[in-house]
Amino acid sequence: MKRDYRHDLEKTARQMILVHRVDTLIRLILRTIMKNIRVKHSGIFLYDKYKDEYVIRVSKGRRGIKIPEGFAKIKKDNSLIRYFTDKELSSFDQDFLLYNRINYYLKYSRSKGRSDLVDFLEDLKGQLSLFQAKACIPGFFRNDLIGILFLGAKEGGGVFRPEELGFLSVLASDVVMAIRNAWLFEDLNKQLDKNKKLFLNTVIAFATAIEAKDKYTSGHTERVVKYSLIIADILSKTDPGVSAEFIENLRVAALLHDIGKIGIPEEILNKKGILTGKEREFIFKHPLIGANILSPIGEFKEIIIGIKHHHERYDGKGYPSGLKREETPLIAAIIAVADSYDAMTTDRPYKKALSKDDALKEIKRNSGKQFNPRVVGAFVEAFEGNKI
């Protein structure tokens, strides 16, 4: 094997280990092939475990071929796959498949009267012609065929030299390791995504269940989440504190802002008349009850703050802590505006809904009194941009 192959193989192997996206990996592999062997194109058939078939990926060489429609995938019983995996074909050289050798195999099979092998080889020849493949090199992990590297004709014509096939063989086994590594990463990342969705869906289910207690607030939670995220999106343009993490916490806090209502009897929540002092006290407690329910969840620190303080007022006359001005964390100040706007624009047991424009006027009028002016500014911008 030529020394420069070695060097490039080592370099590629070292790069491959850090590439965890199969797509990027394939580009790197094909680039390494094209750099070391001057062929018209190269490609790889890669196993897709979800579909249990092999998917083709081809280099964009100067004279790259166009894969015929419908041939981007091949099944496990395709003759090309079987050539390497079928133990009954071991009379052929299963370490490589060279297009030029097929005619020789055909002659041999005809001489032995093996019409089954003749049929198989004719089909195989057809397959290789489709992809204009002159050499195929399999990559196995234990007994599993992970993929097949294939090369088109050499730029200057001629056959593949033994050192070129040796290079491809070493590359194929490096590729197998790197692909398996990338698969594991993809699996872990998919699992992470799945878990995040499960978590969020669970929180949504609980939020919906709590909302159901209060028959006048159908859809309230969903709208508060929506308004909160729109406000945060606008604030994020100027406030670096409104990060992706902040927004994720805001989403959960807005979903759960009324979770404390779980502790308030339905007859108080749904009462049409004026609340007694004791009943109002109950209502005033819900941000604290909510914060308490979630307090064992260490990761919810920011979320709990958002829930606990979403009824504070900018002038310090809110509850439960009477926080003033910027003392109220932004996450809570955002929910406060979103929550109030939705309360104003929907019918409640104690009063009729305002129009959107009247509600906006109320929000503006209360800027610096009930609401944080920065949040009101973002809300007004969203409203005027028809986002709310």
Taking the C-alpha atoms of residue 16 and residue 32, their distance in angstroms, rounded to an integer, is: 11
Query: At CB < 8 A and 24+ separation, what contacts does 73-76 make?
Result: 73/48, 74/45, 74/127, 76/52
Q: Which is nearer to its own copies, 202 or 276 (CB)?
A: 202
Does position 2 bind its own copies by CB under 8 A?
no
Binding mask 160-199 for its own copies (x = CB under 8 A): ----------x--xx--xx-xx--xx--xx-xx-xxx-xx
Axis-axis angle for helices 373-384, 220-235 (nearest 10) = 100
Taking the C-alpha atoms of residue 281 and residue 261, their distance in angstroms, rounded to an integer, is: 12
Q: Which is nearer to its own copies, 73 or 194 (CB)?
A: 194
* Residues 6 or more apart whose Cβ sits within 8 Å of residue 271: 279, 349
Does position 208 bind its own copies by CB under 8 A?
yes
Taking the C-alpha atoms of residue 93 and residue 113, their distance in angstroms, rounded to an integer, is: 20
Residue from 102, 153, 204, 275 in contact with its own copies (CB under 8 A)? 204
Please count the residues of this chain forming the interface with its own copies, following the rule CB under 8 A.
50
Q: Of 24-32, 55-63, 92-100, 264-272, which part binds its own copies (CB under 8 A)?
A: 264-272
Q: Which is nearer to its own copies, 130 or 203 (CB)?
A: 203
Show the DSSP H helices in 214-243 as ranges: 220-235
Q: Minimum Å distance from CB 89 to its own copies?
A: 27
Residue from 266, 281, 326, 358 in contact with its own copies (CB under 8 A)? 266
Residue 80's φ and ψ, nearest 5 degrees, are: -65, -40
- Cα distances (angstroms) measured from residue 236 to each of 310, 330, 371, 375, 379: 20, 12, 18, 11, 13
Answer for the pair 259, 292: CB distance below 8 angstroms, yes or no.
no
* Residues 6 or more apart whose Cβ sits within 8 Å of residue 177: 16, 141
Taking the C-alpha atoms of residue 125 and residue 107, their distance in angstroms, rounded to an integer, is: 13
Structure tokens at 250: 């805001």
Q: Minimum Å distance from CB 95 to its own copies?
A: 17
Q: Minimum Å distance from CB 84 to its own copies?
A: 20
Residue from 2, 93, 212, 218 in contact with its own copies (CB under 8 A)? 212
Residue from 69, 245, 299, 347 in contact with its own copies (CB under 8 A)? 299
Q: Which is nearer to its own copies, 249 or 372 (CB)?
A: 249
Does position 102 bind its own copies by CB under 8 A?
no
Q: Minimum Å distance from CB 52 to its own copies?
A: 22
Q: Is 334 left (phi over 0), alpha (psi -120 to 50) or beta?
A: alpha
Q: Minimum Å distance from CB 36 to its own copies?
A: 16
* DSSP string for 361-372: HHHHHTBTTTB-
- Paired residues of 91 in beta bridges: none
Answer for the pair 383, 355: CB distance below 8 angstroms, yes or no.
no
Q: Minimum Å distance from CB 249 to its own copies?
A: 12
Q: Which is nearer to its own copies, 158 or 162 (CB)?
A: 162
Give the torsion sign (CA, 222, 226, 227, 228): positive
Binding mask 4-43 for its own copies (x = CB under 8 A): --x---x--xx-xxx-x-----------------------
Q: Which is nearer to its own copies, 72 or 205 (CB)?
A: 205
Q: Minimum Å distance from CB 304 to its own copies?
A: 10
Does position 209 bind its own copies by CB under 8 A?
yes
Does position 67 bind its own copies by CB under 8 A?
no
Which residues make up the interface to its own copies (CB under 8 A)? 6, 10, 13-14, 16-18, 20, 170, 173-174, 177-178, 180-181, 184-185, 188-189, 191-192, 194-196, 198-199, 201-206, 208-210, 212-213, 259, 262-263, 265-267, 293-294, 296-300
